[in-house]
């Protein structure tokens, strides 16, 4: 899969994330995801995924390539969306009591 396709998929996932969290909680920082590139001391760059939201704990994960960072960001978003949906379903089931 090329980067353009990954970026498109990540964009769709961030939209889904926003749609999920928006009705219950919306703080601007919960909707931002970052990939930072750092060059140091003539070494190969390091790509770090960042998320500083309120809903999730701080996410900070280093990757060795931009391609890997994009793929990992997609995976993180998919995992977090699934977890959020699961917790919402559990909350809904508890409300049935």
For 29-72, the pLDDT digits (tens) are: 888 999 999 999 999 999 999 999 888 889 999 999 999 999 99
Average pLDDT over the chain reads 90
Q: Taking the model in full, what pTM does it have?
A: 0.87
Closest by CA to 47, choosing from 32, 33, 63, is 63
Q: Where in the chain are the domains? A: 3-15+25-83
> DSSP characters for 71-88?
HHHHHHHHHHHHHHHHHH
> Phi/psi class of residue 42: alpha, beta or left (left: φ > 0; alpha: ψ in -120 to 50)?
left
Return the percentage of the chain with pLDDT > 70, whole number: 91
* pLDDT reading at 90 higher than 90: no
pLDDT of residue 43: 95
CB neighbours of 5 closer than 8 A, spacing ≥ 6? none
């Amino acid at each position: 899969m090329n980067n353009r396709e990954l970026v498109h998929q990540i964009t769709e996932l961030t939209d889904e994330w926003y749609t999920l969290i928006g009705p219950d909680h919306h703080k601007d920082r919960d909707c931002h995801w970052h990939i930072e590139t750092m060059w140091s001391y003539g070494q190969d760059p390091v790509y770090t995924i960042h998320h500083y939201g309120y809903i999730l704990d701080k996410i900070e994960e280093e990757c060795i390539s931009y391609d890997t960072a994009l793929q990992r960001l997609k995976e993180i978003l998919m995992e977090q969306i699934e977890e959020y949906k699961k917790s919402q379903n559990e909350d809904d089931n508890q409300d049935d009591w």
